[in-house]
Amino acid sequence: MSDRYFLPRTFTDSNDLNPFSQGGLIDRMFDASFPWKMLKAFHQDFPKDQDMNFLPKLDIKSDAQQYQITAEIPGVAKDNVKLEVHDGVLVLSGEKKEEKTEGDQKNQQVHVLERRYGSFERSMTLPEDADVEHIKAQHKDGVLTVSIPRKAPQQNKKVISISAE
C-alpha cells in the first residue's frame, strides 16, 4: 500500500479561487448581509492564523437572565484550563498537551498530523450588565460552559417632592 492514501486531499492552493478563504466571495457576501453590530457587546481579540496552535471555538448566546459562552476544548483536562476576569475582560486560557504513548518511537513513520496542540487564550470584553461576581463554569466532555448572569437594571428614577408655598 502506498503512503499517498494516508494524505488528506487538497483541492486548491490558491486563495483567489477558494470562495471560503478570508476575503473570499462567501465572506464578502456574509459581511454585507449580517448585522455585526449586535455582536458589539462581546468584542473578541483573535490572533492571526500563524500565531495559533490550538484555538477553541466559541458559541456566545444570551437571554434575559444571562449570557452563555460555550467553548470546545476537546482533549484539554480541567486542570489545564484557566478562566479569569480582568477589568471587564473575560480571559479563557489553557494548554492542550500532546499525547505521547509508550509505543511512540523515534523511528516511527508519521503519515498525517492534523491535530493541534499548545497554549491558547481567548479574551472577550464583557457587556456592562454582566455580573462578574456570579460567573460559573462547568467542564464536561470536552466542552466548557460559562454562565454569566445579567445584573438587574438600575432604576435611575427619583421622585421629587413638590412643596406648597
Per the model's pLDDT, the better-predicted residue between 116 and 2 turns out to be 116
Backbone angles phi, psi at 32, to 5 degrees: -70, -25
Q: Is the predicted pLDDT of residue 150 greater than 80, yes or no?
A: yes
Distance CA 104, CA 119 (A): 22
Distance CA 83, CA 73 (A): 13
Q: Is the predicted pLDDT of residue 114 greater than 50, yes or no?
A: yes
Q: How confident is the model at residue 30 (pLDDT cuts 50, 70, 90)?
A: low
All cell numbers assigned to 51? 500565531
| CATH number for region 41-98+114-151 | 2.60.40.790
Q: Is the predicted pLDDT of residue 9 greater than 70, yes or no?
A: no
Q: Strand pairing partners for 93?
A: 82, 121
Q: Is the predicted pLDDT of residue 26 greater than 80, yes or no?
A: no
Strands (E), the chain: 43-44, 58-62, 66-72, 81-86, 89-96, 118-125, 136-140, 143-149
Q: What is the pTM of this model?
A: 0.60
- The 3-state secondary structure of 17-71 reads CCCCCCCCHHHHHHHHHCCHHHHCCCEECCCCHHHCCCCCCEEEEECCCEEEEEE
Q: Strand pairing partners for 120?
A: 94
Domain boundaries, the chain: 11-36, 41-98+114-151
> Which residues in 67-86 are b (16+ Cβ under 10 Å) and which e?
bebebebeebeeeebebeee
Distance CA 74, CA 159 (A): 54
Average pLDDT in the chain: 76
- pLDDT (tens digit, 9 = 90+) per residue, 39-87? 545 545 544 444 456 788 999 999 999 999 999 999 899 999 999 999 9
All cell numbers assigned to 3? 503512503
